Structure formats: C-alpha cells, structure tokens
Amino acid sequence: MNAPLAPANGGCRTAPVLKERGQREVFCGLTGIIWLHRKMQDAFFLVVGSRTCAHLLQSAAGVMIFAEPRFGTAILEETDLAGMADAQVEIDRVVEQLLARRPDIRQLFLVGSCPSEVIKIDLHKAAERLSAKHAPHVRILNYSGSGIETTFTEGEDAALACMVPVLPETDARQLLVVGALPDVVEDQMLGLLKAMGIETVTCLPAQRIDGETGVGPNTVFALAQPFLGETHAALERRGARHLPAPMPFGDEGTTAWLHAIATEFGVSEEVFAAVTDAPRARARKAIAQASEHLRGKSIFFFPDSQLEIPLARFLTRECGMTAIEVGSPYIHDAIHGPDLDLLPAGPQISEGQDVEKQLDRARAARADLTVCGLGLANPLEAEGLATKWAIELVFTPVHFYEQAGDLAGLFSRPLRRKSLLKLEAAE
C-alpha cells in the first residue's frame, strides 16, 4: 500500500526522448560551489579559471556576500598562458597564500574550469602534491566544474564523486544518503529513519571532514538528489549498492523513497506506518492547500538542474497539473527511471537543449506555468507567460514531508500573483 501506483496510461520511462544540441541557456558546474560551501563548513573551493569564472560565482552568489567567503578564483593571467611549467608553481603559491590566510580550512577543492581544462593544467597532480605537503591538517582534492563538461548541479556530482575514492573503507552495514540537503531537511530525514530503527545512517557530503563516514561492500546508498550520476558510479566502484527509488519530493516521493530503505533494512509495515502516517497526513493536507491554484494547470520545464523529472512527477500526480514538456540537461536511466515510471505518459521528454527551438515550443504551448532560468524568466513574463525560476528549487528546502507544502507553494505563488495583480485602468 506504500508503493505508488503506476499511471494507468503507462509511465514515461520508455517514451521517446527528444535529444537536442545547440545553444544552451544553463549554468556551468561551478555554480554548485554556492550551496556546497555552505553545507561543508570546513571546505574551501578554489577555482582555477578566468575572470569570467570569478564573475559568474559573484553573480550567482548575489547577495550572499560574506566577510570571508569560502570560495575564490585563482585568475589565470597572460603569463600563465605562456608556459605550462609555471602553472604548478603558481598553484602552490596561491594555495600557500590561501591556507596561511585561512588556517581553519580542512578540505580544499581545486576546481577546474573551461580555461584550465582547455590548456590542460593538471589539477589532479597539483592536488596530490599539495595533499602530501599539507597532510594531515588539510586534504586537497580536485574536480572539474567547467561548462564544457558539467551543467549546473552536475558540479555537486563532480565534487562528491571526487571525494568517494578517498572515503575510508568500512565493512559496516550502513545506509549512506548522498546529496547536499539543507540542515533542517537532513535532520528530519535522519529523525524518520531513526524512528524506524535504522541507526547507522551517514551523509555525503558531511558537514565536516571529521564527521565523514566510510564506504564498503556492506554499504547501501540512497540518492537524495537526481543529479548524482558520477557519484553513483564511483560508489558502485567502491562496492556500495544503490537503492533505486523516486526522489523524495511530495508525499508519494518521500514515502516511496523511505519505503525502499525500510524494505532493505527489514522494517515492518506496521513500524513504517507508525512512523510515517502522521507526517504523511500533514504533507497531504499542506499540499492540498498549497496546490489549490495548480490543479488543472499546465507546466513546461526548460532544462536546468535534473530536478525537472521528479518535480514533474510530483506536480502532475500530487498537485493535479499537466506537463507539456519536461526538459532535463541529462537523463540517467538508473536514477531518473523510478520517477519516469510514475510520470503519466503525455509530456514530451527532452534531453539537452537548442534554446531558440525550445522557446518556440514554449511559446506555442503557452503553458500556465513555465519553469526556466533567470535569463529567460523576465523575457517570458514580458510575453505574458507566468514563470517559476528554477534555481530557487536548488536553494530552498523542498525535500521530504514537512517541505511538501512549501514545494507546491513555490509553484503556486507565481500563479497567485498573476491573478492578484490588477494593473489595468479601472474602467
């Protein structure tokens, strides 16, 4: 009774996917730093890149300016482009400067960018060398957040994947929950699992390097975010086993996600119901209220974060919306499959982007609500389309039961606002 019913008309798992290439209106993976550095409180993210990279981070960080932010850019200069031998020396110098300034830093990520990848600066070598030098106080890792290789949330994937090989080996029977979640959401999740009697639960990323857990053949892992393809593969290489499940959005998603874990750990249906019945009822009630303006409305998703498919599943099944197109930058069958199974057939599923063609489709569809990035939102509003800007869904607590009403509210607010504003003359 806890397994969600597959849609009568079949799901979308086998639906034909429109694959497009062309201009993409998306962020690069460097953007992941903005929320990852808040989660990992002893980490510093040093981008090796150009002024463009620094400018992007600053634009994306917006008002999130801190006295001492834990990210920065080593901006490549003319002299760095001339000779490759210097690059490693330069990185050492910048890292020394940084660590002297910030002795509280325990993990340092050297983050590759388009310029550093194109001129092939070996950040892996730099990370190994610097790790040896600064061990045991500071661990230095590297990953690429470049636009040529990663899209938006894939930056988090790349960061977590680079941590997997250095996690300590363990034989303990344990659950590893993967994906950076807001603290309040993480606590709720741990509370629910604990109430079911599942005690050995750890998170990747952990808040601090010391709190980090190991991985091994008796580890099972659940993904709390859908954009973790590389991390999924890296964990499997370490012998851990994935628990496939829909993403924990809404009542259904959260229940199915928890149920997959409960089944794995042999939790009885009675205990499961005792733990989840009350929060489920609350979630359903909150969703019902918050989705009042969503019922019967259509929605169009531009690709952004890979959250699109599970969100479309939540909005269609639990809020009564109809999806017209669900665009995702990438689709991984192993990860998005369970959500695609539940998404009622009908919408065009698209992977990748040719933004001009997709805009033509969005204009033709004139959905009641269009989910897109900030570069498109105001221009589409000016064309009379109501929009919901997608990046908010990555920053705001939206997972699990207690946030289910808020999640629906994020989508209903633009529609409520559109109906509230009366800007024409009274006559």
Partner 1 sequence: MKLTVWTYEGPPHVGAMRVATAMKGLHYVLHAPQGDTYADLLFTMIERRNHRPPVSYTTFQARDLGADTANLFKTACKEAVERFDPQAIIVGASCTAELIQDDPGGMAETMDLGIPVIPLELPSYQRKENFGADETLFQIVRTLAQPQERTSRISCNILGPTALGFRARDNVEEITGLLSELGVQVNVVAPLNATPADIARLPAAHFNVLLYPETGEAAARWLEKTHDQSYTSVLPIGVGGTRDFIAEIARLSGKPVARDESRLRLPWWSSSVDSTYLTGKRVFLFGDGSHVMAMARVARDEMGFEVVGMGCYNREMARPLRAMAKDYGVAPLITDDYLEVEAAIEAAAPEMILGTQMERHIGKRLGIPCAVISAPVHVQDFPARYSPVMGFEGANVLFDTLIHPLVMGLEEHLLAMFREDFEFHDAAGPSHHGAKAQARVDSADASGGSLPAKMKDNGVPLPDAVTDENVVWLSDAERELKKIPFFVRGKARRNTETFAIEKGINQISVETLYEAKAHYAR
Annotated binding site: 28, 53, 114
400, 189 contact by CB (below 8 A): yes
The answer to the question of residue 381 lying near partner 1 (CB under 8 A) is yes
Q: What are the contacts of 182-186 at 24+ separation with CB within 8 A?
A: 182/396, 182/397, 183/207, 184/397, 185/397, 185/399, 185/400, 185/403
According to CB under 8 A, which one of 17, 190, 374, 415 is a site residue for partner 1? Answer: 374
Residue of 15, 98, 195, 243 interacting with partner 1 (CB under 8 A): 98
Please identify, among the stretches 232-240, 261-269, 309-317, 408-416, the one whose residues bind partner 1 according to the rule CB under 8 A: 408-416
Q: Is 211 in the site for partner 1 (CB under 8 A)?
A: no
What is the rounded end-to-end Cα distance, in angstroms, of the chain? 55
Range list of H helices, 217-354: 229-237, 250-264, 269-290, 308-318, 333-342
Task: Give the residue, chosen from 3, 6, 81, 172, that forms a contact with partner 1 under the rule CB under 8 A.
Answer: 81
> Which 3 state secondary structure label does DSSP give 73?
strand
Q: Which two tokens stand for residue 88?
A: 């490693």
Among the listed ranges 135-143, 218-226, 245-253, 275-283, the one in contact with partner 1 (CB under 8 A) is 275-283
Q: Does 408 bind partner 1 (CB under 8 A)?
A: yes
- Determine the interface stretch with partner 1 among 1-9, 68-76, 315-323, 361-369 (rule: CB under 8 A): 68-76
409 binds partner 1 (CB under 8 A): yes
Q: Strands 219-223 and 241-242: what pairing?
A: parallel
* Interface positions, 283-342, toward partner 1 (CB under 8 A): 283, 285-287, 289-290
On the 0-12 / 13-18 / 19+ scale of CB atoms within 10 A, 396 is: middle
Q: Minimum Å distance from CB 294 to partner 1?
A: 12
Q: Enter the tokens of residue 49.
A: 């890149």
Contact 308, 247 (CB under 8 A): no
Among 118, 172, 274, 334, binds partner 1 (CB under 8 A): 118
Q: How far, in Å, are 108, 194, 384, 390 from residue 298 at the CA level?
A: 44, 39, 15, 16
Stretch of residues binding partner 1 (CB under 8 A), selected from 116-124, 157-165, 214-222, 304-312: 116-124
Count of residues in the chain: 427
Please report whether residue 111 would count as binding partner 1 according to CB under 8 A: no
Residue from 33, 56, 224, 386 that binds partner 1 (CB under 8 A)?
A: 56
Q: Is 371 in the site for partner 1 (CB under 8 A)?
A: no
420 binds partner 1 (CB under 8 A): no
Which residue stretch of 195-203, 294-302, 334-342, 410-418 sits at the interface with partner 1 (rule: CB under 8 A)? 410-418
Q: Token pair for residue 16?
A: 């034909």
251 binds partner 1 (CB under 8 A): no
Give the x/- contact pattern for partner 1 in 149-188, rule: CB under 8 A: x-x-------------------------------xx--x-
Distance CA 238, CA 169 (A): 8
Quote the least distance from Cβ 219 to partner 1, whole Å.
Answer: 28
